[in-house]
Structure 1
Amino acid sequence: MNYRHSFHAGNSADVVKHSLLIALVRALQQKPGALTLIDTHAGCGLYDLGGEQAQRTGEAAEGVVRAFADTNPLLDDYRAAVRSVNAGPAPDLYPGSPQFLAQLLRPQDVLILNEKHPEDARALRGAMRGTPAAVHERDAYELWLAMLPTRTPRGVVVVDPPYEQLDERDRIVATLAAAHRKWAHGVTVIWYPLKDRAAHQQWKGKLRRLGIPKVLVVEHWLYDVDRPGLYNGAGLFIVNPPYAFVQDLPPLLEALRSALAPAGQWGRIGADWLDDRG
């Protein structure tokens, strides 16, 4: 499955991912110690929702547009982050994860971004001009390991690949295993699309066999009945989530489910520990 950011900017998966990233980083920032934030597949950093690629899919209408039409205050932080890159009230531009992370930085925090595609990396540097972000143009999995352990006591690695390669999931499993050996206490966020349930269960089985103690699984299923072979939603594996984030998660997830449910659908979103799931 090819999931290039520019075709899907501002869709339902982005709304969930970025809302949870804000909550996660803010939970970690309840302590004053510095954080290193690393985005291994950073993309362009900023997306034109009126551009040809975004318009080809039209997915923002079911994501950020729905979130902006919603009134639940639990989504206020997300909406404020999107508004910060727009001149008017409507979301004409959509910030990628690097922009969300940059907005969360405190003076003591560090932001490291990586994008392997040269054209996207150039766009990323332009989008992040004026921020303290360091931008790399390397293989994502090589950089992931090279940056660990972080120079600050705590950190977050965000892994958000396009799933263009058939071995993408296997590379994630192998790199996460190596990363955990180097940085067992670190927080890692791995995004994935939900398409083939059987293949997804196999992948979760491989991750479970790594024996990492604290892996939270957040999954957002858009439809009440699976649509085999098609995009059904997205999820996040979160390694070592902070206690405050986990405690505050249920009402935020319900707010997201309600805001993003397609017409005529209830949808499902929930969080469980990986070692408790089948």
Structure 2
Amino acid sequence: MNYRHSFHAGNSADVVKHSLLIALVRALQLKDSALTLIDTHAGCGLYDLHGDAAQRTGESAQGVLRALADPNPLLDDYRAAVQAVNVGAEPHLYPGSPRILVQLLRPQDALIVNEKHPEDAYALRGAMRGTGAAVHERDAYEFWLAMLPPRTPRGVVVVDPPYEQTDERARITATLAAAHRKWSHGVTVIWYPLKDRATHVRWKEQLRRLGIPKFLNVEHWLYDADQPGIYNGAGLFIVNPPYAFTQALPSMLEALRAALAPEGHQGEIAAEWLGG
């Protein structure tokens, strides 16, 4: 599955991913010690919702626009992050994970982002200019391991690939195993699209067999039954989520399900522990 960020900016997967990423970092920031935030597949950083790529799919109408119109206060932090890069009520721009994360930084925190695709890396440097973030243009999996352990006491690694390569899941599995050996107490967030259920079930079992003690899985299925051959939703694997995050998670997930359920569907979003 090819999931280039620019074609899907602001869709339902972005709403879930960025809402939970904000909540996760905020929970970690309940402690004063510094955080290093690392984004391995950063994309362009900022996306034009009126541009050709986004308009070709029109997915933001069922994602960010629904979230902005929803009154649930649990989505306020997400809405504020989107509004921070826009002027006026209607969003023209959508912040990717790097522009979301830079908004969350405290003075003691640091942000390091990476994008291998040359054109996207060029756009990323422009989007991050003046933010203080360090921008790299390297192989994402080599970069992931090279950054560990971070210089600060704590950190978060965000892994958000386009799933263009057939071995993407295998590379994630192998790199996560190596990363956990280097940095067992670190927080890692891995995003993935849900299209073929059987492929995903096999991958989940492979990740479960890594034996990572504190390993949470969040899945958002848009439709009440699988829609063969199309995008059905997305999920996150989260290693070492903080307690404050997991305690607040059920109500946040219900708010996201209600805001994003397609017409005629209830949808489903749930979390389970793969380990611990």
Q: TM-score range by the shorter chain?
A: over 0.9
Which residue pairs with 2:142 in the alignment?
142
- Return the letter of the residue paired with 1:214: K
The one-letter amino acid paired with 1:77 is D
Question: What residue identity is the alignment partner of 1:258?
Answer: A
Across the two proteins, how many residue pairs are aligned to each other?
276
Partner of 2:228: 228
Q: Per the alignment, in what secondary structure is the counterpart of residue 180 of structure 1? A: helix
Deviation (angstroms), 1:129: 1.0
Q: Following the alignment from structure 1 to structure 2, what is the Cα–Cα distance between the partners of residues 130 and 87?
A: 19
Distance, in Å, in 2 between the alignment partners of 1:130 and 1:250 is: 37
CA deviation after TM superposition for structure 1 residue 275, in Å: 3.6
Show the counterpart of 1:207: 207
- Report what 2:244 is aligned to: 244
Structure 1 consecutive aligned stretches of length 4 or more whose deviation exceeds 4 Å: none
Amino acid at match of 2:104: L
Separation in 2 of the partners of 1:147 and 1:128? 19
What is the alpha-carbon distance in structure 2 between the residues aligned to residue 181 and residue 100 of structure 1?
A: 28
> What is the percentage of aligned positions where both structures have the same residue?
81
* Alignment TM-score, normalising by the size of structure 2: 0.99
Listed as ranges, the gaps of 5+ residues in structure 2 are: none
**In the alignment, is residue 67 of structure 1 matched against residue 67 of structure 2?**
yes
Whole-Å separation in 2 of the counterparts to 1:228 and 1:203: 18
Distance 1:13 1:36 in 2: 24
The separation in 2 between residues aligned to 1:222 and 1:198, in whole angstroms, is 17
Structure 1: which 5+ residue stretches go unaligned?
A: none
Of 59-68 and 223-232, the range deviating more from structure 2: 223-232
Q: CA RMSD in A?
A: 0.7
Q: Deviations over 1:140-169 (max 9, x none)?
A: 000000000111010000000000000000
What amino acid sits opposite 2:134 in the alignment?
Answer: A
Q: Alpha-carbon deviation of 1:88?
A: 1.0
Question: How far apart in 1 are the matches of 2:225 and 2:212?
Answer: 31
Secondary structure of the corresponding residue to residue 274 of structure 1: strand
Encode CA deviations 1:183-211: one digit per residue, 9 max, x unaligned. 00000000000011111010011101110
Give CA-to-partner distance per residue, 1:102-151, whole Å, 9 cap, x none: 00000000100000011111100111111010000000000000000111
Structure 1: how far apart are the matches of 2:43 and 2:200?
24
The CA deviation at 1:69 is 1.1
Once the two structures are TM-superposed, the CA of residue 229 in structure 1 deviates from its matched residue by 2.4
Which residue of structure 1 lines up, in the alignment, with residue 197 of structure 2?
197
In structure 1, the residue corresponding to 2:81 is in which secondary structure? Answer: helix
In 1, distance between residues paired with 2:154 and 2:80? 26
Partner of 2:181: 181
2:160 and 2:14 map into 1 onto residues whose CA distance is 11
